[in-house]
Amino acid sequence: MVAQAPVRVPVLPALLGRRPASLHHARAVAEALGPLAGARVLEVGPGTGYYTLPVADWIGAGGRLDIFDVQQDMLDLTTRRARARGLDNIVATQGDARSLPYDDRSFDAAFLVSVPGEIPDQDDALRELARVLRPGGRLVVGELFGDPHWVAPGALQRRAETAGLRFEERIGRPLAYFARLSRPTGAWTPTIVADDDERRER
Condensed to tens digits (0 to 9), the pLDDT of residues 63-105 reads 999 999 999 999 999 999 999 999 999 999 999 999 999 999 9
Q: What residue spans define the domains of the chain?
A: 21-201
Antiparallel, parallel or unpaired: β 176-182 and 166-173:
antiparallel
Average pLDDT over residues 185-191: 65
Answer yes or no: pTM beyond 0.75. yes
Q: Which residues pair with 110 in a beta bridge?
A: 42, 139
Domain 21-201 has CATH 3.30.70.270: no
Contact 138, 34 (CB under 8 A): yes
